[in-house]
Amino acid sequence: MTNKELNRYNLLVMRKDIHPTNYRPVVFQDLNDGSTFLTRSTVDSEETITLDGQEYPLVKVHISSASHPFFTGEERIVDVEGRVDKFKARREAAAKARAEKAAKAAKPKAKKQSKTDVQKLGK
């Protein structure tokens, strides 16, 4: 496609006035390490922060490139031992429940005496 064809395509096909126009400087703050990023955005925020003598809208995020393990190269310590202990505890509880169920099923049920049986005993 030539440049002229591309411009004609944009005029005929592309929708107009669908993108936001309220871009402004916004500060994003990582809650894990407190690092901040100043960038342009359209996100709404009621909180503000002062950086370099100017006040900007503040958006707090739980994780960003400053704290994400993929970007930092740090591996997080996984509590494998705790998971293993939980698994063993569940397995033991299941085995205990099966044993109780088997013991309950093995007990002979007491036969209820019917009225005729009571009458026979009375004679």
Which tens digit of pLDDT belongs to each residue from 32-64?
888 899 999 999 999 999 988 999 999 998 887
What span, in angstroms and rounded, lies between the C-alpha atoms of 56 and 61? 16
What mean pLDDT value characterizes the chain?
Answer: 79
Beta strands, E only, the chain: 24-30, 36-41, 48-51, 54-61
Which tens digit of pLDDT belongs to each residue from 15-38?
778 888 889 999 999 888 888 999
Of the pLDDT bands very low, low, confident and very high (cuts 50, 70, 90), residue 115 is low
Amino acid identity, position 1 = M
For residue 5, what are the CA distances in angstroms to 17, 22, 91? 21, 30, 69
Amino acid identity, position 54 = Q
Of the pLDDT bands very low, low, confident and very high (cuts 50, 70, 90), residue 95 is very high
